[in-house]
Amino acid sequence: MADSCCEGKGSELAELRDRQRRVLWIVLVINALLFVVEFGVGWVARSTALLGDSLDMLGDALVYAFNIWVLHRGARWRARASLSKGLVQLGFGLLVLGQALSKLVTGFDVDAGAMGWMGAVALAGNAYCFYLLWSHRSDDLNMQSTWLCSRNDLIANSGVLIAAALVAVLGSGIPDVVVGLAIAALFLRTAVQVIAASRAELRATDVPDGEMAPSQR
């Protein structure tokens, strides 16, 4: 009976990992495509908000690839994947912060129309990713941090649309810089949370061979 129970749990876990892999592959492809398009549009439109959002897409795509690789590995590898997401968010948050601050010196010329339609496309893509990840948000630390990144994407996309509307109405690129700074702050806040949780998980699994981690007792 015990063996049958263990086999059943093992089968359920394998099925869960397979479902997670399928979802991660879909959101990986969506984020990679959105990065290419949004970065190009952001560069042409001189939009800090779009460039920041596109770099986040790239970071997400790279981390999703790492997540797929560690799915069938132990908790320590999944914690490392989560830590990598936190570090990527931290790096891009600092990059966008620097770009937004430099814009204060170089000027605010922004194409509001390009910002608007690109922001809408990115929002639609990320809304679908969020929908796919929602049911896996409580599976483990790795999927939870992935879902948090997707949530941040929706917030950032909404900010881009608001900035585009304000740029068009006010005839100034200042809202673009303000939203860029807000996106950077969001990245940095989430990065700190994810890094802290990942380090705690790594400490919990850092035990000598033959002993159980506190979380496994």
Q: Is the C-alpha dihedral spanning 117, 119, 120, 122 positive or negative? A: positive
Query: Could you tell me which CATH class the domain 11-206 is placed in?
Result: mainly alpha
User: One-letter amino acid identity for 48?
Assistant: T
Which pLDDT tens digit goes with each residue over 102-111?
A: 777 776 678 8
In degrees to the nearest 10, what's the CA dihedral of 65, 134, 120, 175?
-90
SS3 percent helix, strand, coil of the chain, rounded to 5, is 85, 0, 15
Question: What pTM was estimated for this model as a whole?
Answer: 0.68
Which pLDDT tens digit goes with each residue over 119-164?
A: 999 999 999 999 888 877 776 666 777 777 788 788 888 888 988 8
Listed in sequence order, the DSSP H helices in the chain are: 2-45, 48-70, 75-106, 112-134, 141-170, 174-205
d(CA 207, CA 211) in angstroms, rounded, equals 6
Which pLDDT tens digit goes with each residue over 174-195?
A: 888 888 788 778 778 878 887 8
Helix/strand/coil for 209: coil
Which pLDDT tens digit goes with each residue over 88-104?
A: 778 877 877 887 777 77
User: One-letter amino acid identity for 70?
Assistant: V
Give, in order, the Cα–Cα distances in Å from 194 to each of 60, 111, 177, 185: 14, 34, 26, 14
